[in-house]
Amino acid sequence: MNSAKKIVLAEDNSMLSMVLKFRLEKEGYKLLVAADGKEALELIELHNPELILTDIMMPFVSGLEVISHVRNKLNLQTPIVVFSAAGQEKIVLQAFDLGATDFMTKPLSPNELVLRIKRLLR
């Protein structure tokens, strides 16, 4: 399990975090869960994950700020997948401008997420 790829998941819905953590750990990834953007940044700096999954709307530090910090302050090229809700198209475009790699609209399918992660970490 030492070789398990690390993924930081930043999501304020604890139930969704648990569901995704369980599903992705079943696929062999190591999940580091953050309840907000601030916690996510701490985990990213501490563990240097292979992938970042982040919700856009979060308390304290938003998903956009997480992307900006990773790309501009930490200068990391780690793939970042953002979760957005319907109607947040403009924010998704902003996320891509800041350096997001991919996005998924909520409600999201855990199975589809697994496929995307596999593709990104190939």
Partner 1 sequence: MSIYHDLIDYLKESPLIIQILWIMTGLFIIIIIFLIFRLRSLRKGLRSKGRTIALYEKKYEAYLLNYLYSESDEEISASQKVIISQLKKSTKDPFIRKILLSLLVKLKQEVSGEISDSVQRLYFQIGLVDYAVARLYHKKWYVIAKGIRELNQFQVKAAHDDVMMHINHPRREVRKEMQLYMVNLFHAEGLNFLAQLEMQLSEWDQIQLLRVLQQLENQENLNIKSWLKSNNHSIVCFALKLAEIYSDIESIDEILKLLHHIEQRIRVESIRVLSVLNAVQAKYILKADIESRSTEEQIAFFAMMENLFDVSDESFISAYVDHPVFEIKVSALKILKVINRAKFDALKTESTDPHFLRIITFIEKN
Joined tokens for residue 66: 């997480």
Rounded CA-CA distance 6/13 in Å is: 20
Q: How far is the CB of 48 from partner 1 (least distance, A)?
A: 28
**Two structure tokens written together for 63:** 């998903």
Please identify which residue in 4, 14, 46, 47 interacts with partner 1, judged by CB under 8 A.
14
> Which one of 1, 3, 15, 75 is in contact with partner 1 (CB under 8 A)?
15
Q: Is the peptide bond before 107 cis (omega within 30 degrees of 0)?
A: yes
3-class SS at 91? Answer: helix
Q: Which string of x and - marks every residue 92-111 that binds partner 1 (by CB under 8 A)? A: --------------xxxxxx
Q: Which of 18/74 has CB closer to partner 1?
A: 18
> 26, 4 in Cβ contact below 8 A?
no
Contacting residue, 5, 6, 16, 27, with partner 1 by CB under 8 A: 16
Write out the residues near partner 1 by the rule CB under 8 A: 13-16, 18-19, 22-23, 26, 106-112
